[in-house]
Amino acid sequence: MRCRCRAEDSVISAERKGRIAPADLKNPFVLLATGLGSGLAPKASGTVGSLLALPIWWFLLADLPLAQQLSFVVIATAISVWVVDRACRAAGVGDASAFVLDEFVGQWMALVAAPKSLLWMVVGFTLFRAFDIAKPWPVSWADRNVGGGLGVMLDDALAGVLAAAVLAGLAWSAARLMA
């Protein structure tokens, strides 16, 4: 498998996929893509990134109307594609495990219409991580076939959309049962 982030217009091999050094954090794009360095966690960096996205959702997004939440997530996605693409080039890596900005945005997508409660936040977190790790189609297709910053972001965005769909179904079912 080859990663398709470009560094000096060449394709980066998978051997460099996860190698971000602390010195790379001097670059502002790498710093942002790693979630201010949180992606350098020695284990489960994607889970760490998703966990750090939760308080941002809780305090910044959860109380907003759906249209504003969607707008925020769309804008955050577009900016993140650009940031991650620049980070890939700066660090000379592909979809590095240390890049967790995609987890932040994917987690926000998963929770975009969730009721603000600890239970729904935990369920949304769990669903997003499950889809991101298992990579069912179309997440797996995006992970294998789309390169650059878009490729890094797209698989997590799709995992977030799938998680949001399941979460919405669960919320609808729970509302029906309680009615």
Q: For the chain, what percent of residues have pLDDT higher than 90?
A: 82
- Share the mean pLDDT of the chain: 90
* pLDDT score of 80: 98
Give 111-128 pLDDT, tens digit per residue.
Answer: 998 999 999 999 999 999
Instruction: Count Cα neighbours of 8 within 13 Å in the Cβ-side half-sphere.
Output: 2
> One-letter amino acid identity for 129?
R
DSSP state of 2: E
* pLDDT score of 17: 56
* pLDDT score of 21: 85
* pLDDT score of 50: 98
What average pLDDT does range 163-171 have in this prediction? 96
SS3 170: helix
